């Protein structure tokens, strides 16, 4: 079992839809939770990060972390065609030998059609 599980999709939605992307994980040492966006033939870029449990909002994007369920989510409101990309969740511990190392989900490919 991989430490981070993410449904690869693909996910296809109409413009303006609310998109929900999710990951589950097994390592209780993870404390930092990130969402990266990767456009085709580009490197991943950080979208949002949160520490421990809770919600974080940035414009049309909301990240949620539920550590009790080992489940994280990214919501995209009013989705736009420019949001079409692969979204990768990533996690890291805040101490120990794996400090700084990121564990990624496989990524969910999202297409928003006009």
Give residues in contact with other proteins (CB under 8 A): 31-32, 36, 42-46, 49, 51, 88, 92, 94-95, 97-107
Identity of the residue, 25 or 44, whose beta carbon is nearer to other proteins in the bound complex: 44
Identity of the residue, 38 or 84, whose beta carbon is nearer to other proteins in the bound complex: 38
For the bound state, the minimum distance from the C-beta of residue 43 to other proteins, rounded and expressed in Å, comes to: 4
Cis peptide before 74, with omega less than 30 degrees from 0?
A: no
For the bound state, the minimum distance from the C-beta of residue 17 to other proteins, rounded and expressed in Å, comes to: 25
CB burial of 81-97 (b: ≥16 within 10 Å; e: otherwise) equals eebbbbbbbbbbbeeee
Identity of the residue, 17 or 109, whose beta carbon is nearer to other proteins in the bound complex: 109
For the bound state, the minimum distance from the C-beta of residue 114 to other proteins, rounded and expressed in Å, comes to: 27
């Amino acid at each position: 079992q991989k430490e981070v599980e993410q449904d690869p999709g693909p996910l296809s939605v109409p413009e303006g839809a609310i998109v929900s992307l999710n990951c589950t994980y097994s390592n209780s040492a993870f404390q930092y939770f990130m969402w990266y966006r990767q456009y085709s033939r580009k490197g991943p870029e950080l979208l949002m990060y949160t520490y421990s449990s809770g919600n974080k909002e940035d414009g049309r994007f909301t990240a949620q972390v539920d550590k009790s369920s080992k489940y994280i989510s990214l919501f995209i409101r009013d989705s736009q065609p420019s949001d079409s990309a692969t979204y990768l969740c990533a996690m890291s511990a805040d101490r120990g030998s794996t400090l700084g190392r990121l564990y990624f989900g496989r990524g969910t490919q999202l297409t928003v059609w006009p």
